[in-house]
């Protein structure tokens, strides 16, 4: 239409040129007076003709643009066949929250995407990109509307954390490689904190403004009041039936966080539910504006049942309001002491050998449900490790390579291993075998270090220690203990020093970065010639906490967060599938498979084919419902390019109708002007007759 209007400009020009064609001159007497008069008015007539010609040329031009305006609003002068549209749809955890109207942000995002597609030309090409995709989508851009609709309808809200920066980086790389086409990018999200963490700036992404148009929806201003469960840590993850510690075992520390513009004072009910239907609850009170709270509550653990007890701590139905954990109920703990019995050993007969000291610390009274077995290190088999919770290795110098391999497998499967040096060795080459078996790089001195006068022990206050339960008493308990002999070991960054002597040498080191279990190394032997520890009050609580704290740490490794890349470390030696409590499953041996939702997943272990339960939770940050200002979002996105808000742009485009009316008004005005000028500049139709001679009445 616009081109046709422009072409119609030629019509008045042609008429004008035709009207100027030359005629053969006819000379007659009075002609010289007419020519003289015409010469006097030629400049004025030429200006009138040009002005009239200009008005007549503008009339078809404005008419063409007025009729073409709706088409120009929805396309470009260069067409759309050389442009690809990338629509990023927020399907992160917060997009699945359903408000009182029953509509979720994800449904709104999909609706906005459909509106964008419907308003486009038939030959426009689109790339639909979910913000959270557990599996890499293999979808080519297409303009087929049915295919696009199917892709949009298949998008579901995911519980994995969103990574807007990664998605934008991928599209930026694609636009750089595909430099022959233009790119329109639409980011459809509410920009809640669970989706976009603006405190982490976007690095090294910049779109080419000459080839890329950036648009996003406006950030939501609607607050949502919700109480999320950030973390829940049982004081003990294993309870012993008849152990007399059920009240301690069933306690759990729960951390809550509240979202909203300014949350008012209110109450929240926390429920803990096990799969058998048992339930406990606690009601907590929030102060006005309070956002965080740490409380403790009792978990519904029944010591009458020997089982793994999956428990959900909940403040509501939304995934971020639920935390999954497990507590194991056992008849007893099963411990193996690897030591060699020597009949002629005087210490053995007197009860002061390392094995007897360790057994007394594990069983200070006979009513404690701990099953202790003493096995010679050279006699240990993989079968002995089935259903074993911990190994206390007192003679590492006697362990053969095959046994080291079995212990390493036991450690990877979540067991606890405590190693002490042999009392009758002054050279400790076994540390090299330990390093090789457990893939450690600890440095050590082979010879025993002697402190003739004895040195004191000092507790090292570290975060996340397996001795946290007795940490307040440790300074006083370590005070009377003296160390005379010690093995000099330096774990570097591969271990945590829990206790050291006053010279700075480690006495007790823990290492849990490899596999699921916990390795503990006590660098002094359980012998009174090495240390006074066996005869001091510290002995029993220290050994008990090494046992229980190690098991606690191993079981804690069975709680994962969605998005963790190391979830396969827990299933590398497992068989079959990983099965969710709702019946869905994934193949463990499939490298493309991944855990895609929170809840309880079970699998068969590689040792003894026991069933292990893994508790999986959402990332606490991914459920944050707090809103963010438009200014902060613009600043966060500003480094990538010039973004415009989609809703404002639509309003500007809808203003095209106003432009049509403006063009039509101008067209009507030009038509009036043309009529007036045409009559004004044209000669009169009738001329007054000219009388010649003295008698004017003739």
Query: Looking at the predicted structure, is the pLDDT value of residue 449 above 60?
Result: yes
Query: Looking at the predicted structure, is the pLDDT value of residue 349 above 80?
Result: no
**pLDDT band of 148, cuts 50, 70, 90:** very high
Check residue 79 and give its pLDDT: 42
Query: Looking at the predicted structure, is the pLDDT value of residue 689 above 60?
Result: no
Most confident range (mean pLDDT) of 74-83, 458-467, 668-677 is 458-467
3-state class (DSSP) for residue 349: helix
Check residue 306 and give its pLDDT: 65
Query: Looking at the predicted structure, is the pLDDT value of residue 687 above 80?
Result: no
What tens digit of pLDDT does each residue of 215-259 get? 999 999 999 999 999 999 988 888 776 554 444 457 899 999 999
**Pairwise CA distance, residues 482 & 455, whole Å:** 5
C-alpha R_g of the chain: 42
Run of H or E residues at 295: strand 292-298
**Is this prediction's pTM over 0.95?**
no
Percent of the chain with pLDDT over 90: 47
What tens digit of pLDDT does each residue of 535-572 get? 999 999 999 999 988 888 888 878 889 887 777 776 76
Once rounded to an integer, what is the mean pLDDT over residues 348-375? 85
DSSP-assigned beta bridge partners for residue 518? 416
CB-based burial of residue 421 (10 Å sphere; 0-12 exposed, 13-18 middle, 19+ buried)? buried
Nearest to 398 by CA among 417, 424, 369: 424
Domains by residue range for the chain, with CATH: 2-73+656-681 (no CATH), 83-222+631-654 (3.40.50.410), 231-326 (2.60.40), 333-556 (3.40.50.880), 559-617 (no CATH)
Query: Looking at the predicted structure, is the pLDDT value of residue 357 above 70?
Result: yes
Query: Looking at the predicted structure, is the pLDDT value of residue 483 above 80?
Result: yes
Least confident of 9-18, 157-166, 176-185: 9-18
Query: Looking at the predicted structure, is the pLDDT value of residue 22 above 80?
Result: no
Most confident range (mean pLDDT) of 131-135, 175-179, 395-399, 557-561 is 395-399
What tens digit of pLDDT does each residue of 599-636 get? 999 887 655 556 788 899 999 999 999 999 999 999 99
Strands 251-259 and 292-298, bridge-based pairing: antiparallel
- Residue 187 — φ and ψ, nearest 5°? -110, 110
Query: Looking at the predicted structure, is the pLDDT value of residue 392 above 80?
Result: yes
Average pLDDT, the chain: 84
Query: Looking at the predicted structure, is the pLDDT value of residue 4 above 90?
Result: no
């Amino acid at each position: 239409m616009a081109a046709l209007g422009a072409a119609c400009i030629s019509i008045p020009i042609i008429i004008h040129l035709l009207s100027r064609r030359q005629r053969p001159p006819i000379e007659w007497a009075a002609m010289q007076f007419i020519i003289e008069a015409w010469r006097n008015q030629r400049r004025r007539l030429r200006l009138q003709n040009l002005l009239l010609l200009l008005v007549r040329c503008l009339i078809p031009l404005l008419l063409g643009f007025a009729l073409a305006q709706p088409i120009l609003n929805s396309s470009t002068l260069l067409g759309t066949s050389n442009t690809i549209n990338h629509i990023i749809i927020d399907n992160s955890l917060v997009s699945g929250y359903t408000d009182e109207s029953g509509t979720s942000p994800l449904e709104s995002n999909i609706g906005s995407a459909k509106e964008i597609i419907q308003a486009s030309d038939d030959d426009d090409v689109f790339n639909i990109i979910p913000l959270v995709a557990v599996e890499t989508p293999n979808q080519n851009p297409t303009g087929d509307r049915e295919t696009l609709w199917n892709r949009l309808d298949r998008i579901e809200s995911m519980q994995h954390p969103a990574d807007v920066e990664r998605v934008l980086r991928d599209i930026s790389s694609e636009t750089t490689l595909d430099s022959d086409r233009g790119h329109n990018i639409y980011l459809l999200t509410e920009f809640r904190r669970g989706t976009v963490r603006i405190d982490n700036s976007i690095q090294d992404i910049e779109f080419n403004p000459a080839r890329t148009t950036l648009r996003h929806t406006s950030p939501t201003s609607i607050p949502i009041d919700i109480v999320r469960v950030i973390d829940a840590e049982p004081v003990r993850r294993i309870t012993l039936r008849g152990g007399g510690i059920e009240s301690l075992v069933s306690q759990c520390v729960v951390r809550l966080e509240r979202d909203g513009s300014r949350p008012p004072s209110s109450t929240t009910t926390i429920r803990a539910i096990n799969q058998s239907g048992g339930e406990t609850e606690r009601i907590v009170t929030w102060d006005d504006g309070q956002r965080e709270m740490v409380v403790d509550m009792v978990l519904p653990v029944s010591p009458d049942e020997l089982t793994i007890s999956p428990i959900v701590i909940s403040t509501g139905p939304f995934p971020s309001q639920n935390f999954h954990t497990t507590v194991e109920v056992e008849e007893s703990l099963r411990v193996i002491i690897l030591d060699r019995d020597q009949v002629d050993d005087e210490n053995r007969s007197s009860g002061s050998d390392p094995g007897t000291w360790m057994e007394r610390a594990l069983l200070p009274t006979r009513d404690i449900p701990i099953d202790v077995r003493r096995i010679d290190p050279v006699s240990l088999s993989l079968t002995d490790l089935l259903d074993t919770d911990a190994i206390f290795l007192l003679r590492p110098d006697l362990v053969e390579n095959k046994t080291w391999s079995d212990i390493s497998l036991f450690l990877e499967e979540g067991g606890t291993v405590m190693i002490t040096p042999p009392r009758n060795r002054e050279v400790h080459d076994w540390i090299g075998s330990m390093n090789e078996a457990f893939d450690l790089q600890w440095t050590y001195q082979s010879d025993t270090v002697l402190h003739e006068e004895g040195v004191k022990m000092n507790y090292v206050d570290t975060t996340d220690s397996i001795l946290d339960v007795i940490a307040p008493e440790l300074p006083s308990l370590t005070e009377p203990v003296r160390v005379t002999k010690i093995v000099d070991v330096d774990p570097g960054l591969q271990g945590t020093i829990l206790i050291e002597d006053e010279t700075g040498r480690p006495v007790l080191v823990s290492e849990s970065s490899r596999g699921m279990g916990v390795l503990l190394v006590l660098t002094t032997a359980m012998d009174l010639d090495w240390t006074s520890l066996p005869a001091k009050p510290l002995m029993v609580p220290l050994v008990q906490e090494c046992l229980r704290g190690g098991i606690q740490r191993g079981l804690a490794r069975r709680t994962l967060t969605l998005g963790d890349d190391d979830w396969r470390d827990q299933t590398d030696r497992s068989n079959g599938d990983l099965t969710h409590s709702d019946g869905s499953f994934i193949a463990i041996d499939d490298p493309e498979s991944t855990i895609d939702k929170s809840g309880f997943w079970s699998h068969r272990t590689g040792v003894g084919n026991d069933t292990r339960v893994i508790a999986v939770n959402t990332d606490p940050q991914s459920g944050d419902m707090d809103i963010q200002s438009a200014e902060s979002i613009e600043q966060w996105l500003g480094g990538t390019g010039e973004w415009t808000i989609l809703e404002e742009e639509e309003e500007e485009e809808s203003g095209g109708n106003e432009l049509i009316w403006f063009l039509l008004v101008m067209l009507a005005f030009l038509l009036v002007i043309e009529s007036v000028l045409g009559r004004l500049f044209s000669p009169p139709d009738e001329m007054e007759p000219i009388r010649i001679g003295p008698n004017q009445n003739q």
